Structure 1
Amino acid sequence: MTAALLTLADSRLPAGGHTHSGGVEQAVAAGLVHDPGSLAAFLLRRLTTSGAVAAGLAAGACAGGDLAALDDEADARTPSPALRLASRQQGRGLVRVARRAWPSGAWDGLPDRPHHPVALGVAAAAAGLTPRDAAHAAAYLSISGPATAAQRLLAMDPLAVAALTARLSPDVDAVAEAAVDAGLPAATDPLLDLLAEVHAVRRDTFFAS
C-alpha cells in the first residue's frame, strides 16, 4: 500500500500533471515568484487553500462518498473556469492511468471528466489506501507539481527547491489531517483564480495552466 501511495503522490505519474504549473507560471510572469523564498510563500498559500480543498475532496471520494455530489462540490469551490478546466483535464488523465493500474468497480461511479481530487480519491480507494492517505497525496501534489514547474521556469537550483518542499512537510501533514478530521474545506484564494484566468488567455505559455 505504501508503494501505491508513493505512486499516486508522484508528479511524474503519466496523468498529465506535468503539463500544469498550478499557477506558478503566471505568478512568475507577474513577478510574484522569483526566488526560493517567494516560491515557498506561494506554495504555502496554495497548500492552505486549494490544497486543503483537494485533500478534503480526495478523502471524501476515497471514503465512498457520493462521487457526483463531490464533483459538484469541487465545482462550487473552484470559481475560476480556467482552474475547473485544468482540474478536469488532470482528473481525466489520472483516471486513464489509474484505472489500468488498479481495476475496480469504484471507477464506474465517477462522472465523465471528473475533477482531479475526486479521481484521486477513487484511485486511492481502488489501490487499497485510506481516506487519510488520499488527503495526504492531494495535499502533497498541490505543492510538488508547482515546485517542479518553478524550478524549470526559473532555472532554480534543484537542491534548493527540494529542500523548501521538504520543509513544508509539516504543513502538508497538518492540512491533510484537518481535511480528514474537520470535513470538506471551503478555502479559496482570489489571487490564484485571477492568475489562472490571466494565464488562460495568453498564447506564449509553457504550461496548460
Structure 2
Amino acid sequence: MSRGTLLVLADGRFPAGGHAHSGGAEAAVRAGRVTGAASLEAFCRGRLHTAGLVAAALAAAAALGHDPGELDAAADARTPSPALRLAARKLGRQLARAARATWPSPELDALARAFPKGAHQPVVLGLTARVAGLGPDDAAYCAAYESVSGPATATVRLLSLDPFEATAVLARLAPELDRVADRAVLAARQALDDGADALPAASAPVLEIGAEAHAARPVRLFAS
C-alpha cells in the first residue's frame, strides 16, 4: 500500500465533485438542527454511524473485488431517497472521470460503460482504491472520512463557522471513524461469502427526508 496514493485519493482537492455537496448539512442548517460546532458534531456522528458505515462497507467490498453491479444494486436498496440516489450517481460519475485519468484501468473503463450515468460513489471509490493499489481498509477509511468531512467543510460556509472549530470536530470523531472503518471491512469480508445482504443497512430517515426537501428548493448553495 502506498501512503502517498492514499493521500491523493483522500485529498479534498481531488477533482471528484465533493465540494458541491454538503452531505445533508445545508438541509440540517436550514431546519435549525445544526447551529454551531456542538450540533455539527452530533450531526456528523449520526451520519458517520449510518450513511458513513454503509458507504465504507460498500467501498471496502468493491476494493476486495466484489461484483460492482451487485454492490450498486445494494447501494440503491440502502438509499430510499431518489435525490440521494441521484447525487450518489453524479458523484460516482465524476469520481470515475477523475480516477480514469489518474489511474487508467480496464476495470474502471468497464464500470463507466456499465453505468454511463454513474455508479454509486462508494462503489466507484472502492474500485478506484483497488486499481490504485490500495486495500479495503484504505477504501473504508476514505468513505468514512468523506461522510463527515464534507458536512464539516460545508458548515464552515453555511454558518461562517470558525474552520478551527470544524476541524476540531473531525479530530474528536477520529476514534469513532476508526471503529466504523473496522466494522465496515469486517462486513465487507463477510459479504464475499454471504453476498451483499451481509453489508450494513443502517438507516438515517432524517437525512433522507431532508434530501428530498433540499432537492425541491429553487435556491441552494449545495447540490445535496
Whether the 8 Å CA contact 1:67–1:109 is kept in 2: the answer is: no
Corresponding letter in the other structure for 1:120: L
Q: Could you say what secondary structure the match of 1:182 adopts? A: helix
Structure 1 equivalent of residue 194 of structure 2: none
Mapping 1:16-165, distance limit 5 Å: 16-110=17-111, 111-112=114-115, 113-165=118-170
SS at match of 1:46: helix
**RMSD over aligned Cα atoms:** 0.9
Q: What is the rounded CA distance, in whole Å, between the counterparts of 2:186 and 2:156 in structure 1?
A: 33
Identity across aligned pairs (percent)? 56
* Aligned 8 A contact 2:37 2:166 in 1: yes
| SS of match in other structure, 1:12 | coil
1:146-177 deviations in Å (ceiling 9; x for gaps): 11000111001111111111111111111010
CA deviation digits over 1:93-140, x for unaligned, max 9?
000011111111221342311000000001101110001110011000
User: Deviation digits for residues 34-65 of structure 1, max 9, x if unmatched?
Assistant: 00000000000000000000000000111111
1:201 aligns with 2:206: no
Structure 2 Cα separation of the partners of residues 62 and 128 of structure 1: 9
User: CA separation in 2, counterparts of 1:35 and 1:193?
Assistant: 22
Amino acid at match of 1:3: G
Cα distance in 1 between the residues matched to 2:187 and 2:22: 28
Residue equivalent to 1:181: 186
Instruction: Provide the C-alpha distance between the structure 1 equivalents of 2:129 and 2:10, rounded to a whole number of angstroms.
Output: 10
Number of residues of Structure 1 aligned to a counterpart in Structure 2: 209
* 2:77 partner amino acid: A
Q: What TM-score do you get using the length of structure 1 for normalisation? A: 0.98
Distance 1:7 1:197 in 2: 32
Asked whether the equivalents of residues 100 and 109 of structure 2 are also in contact (C-alpha less than 8 Å), the reply is no
1:115 and 1:86 map into 2 onto residues whose CA distance is 9
For structure 1, which runs of at least 5 residues remain unmatched after alignment? none
Aligned partners of 2:66, 2:109: CA distance in 1, in Å? 14
| Counterpart position of 1:13 | 14
**Over 3 Å off, 4+ runs:** none
- The equivalent of 1:192 in structure 2 is 207
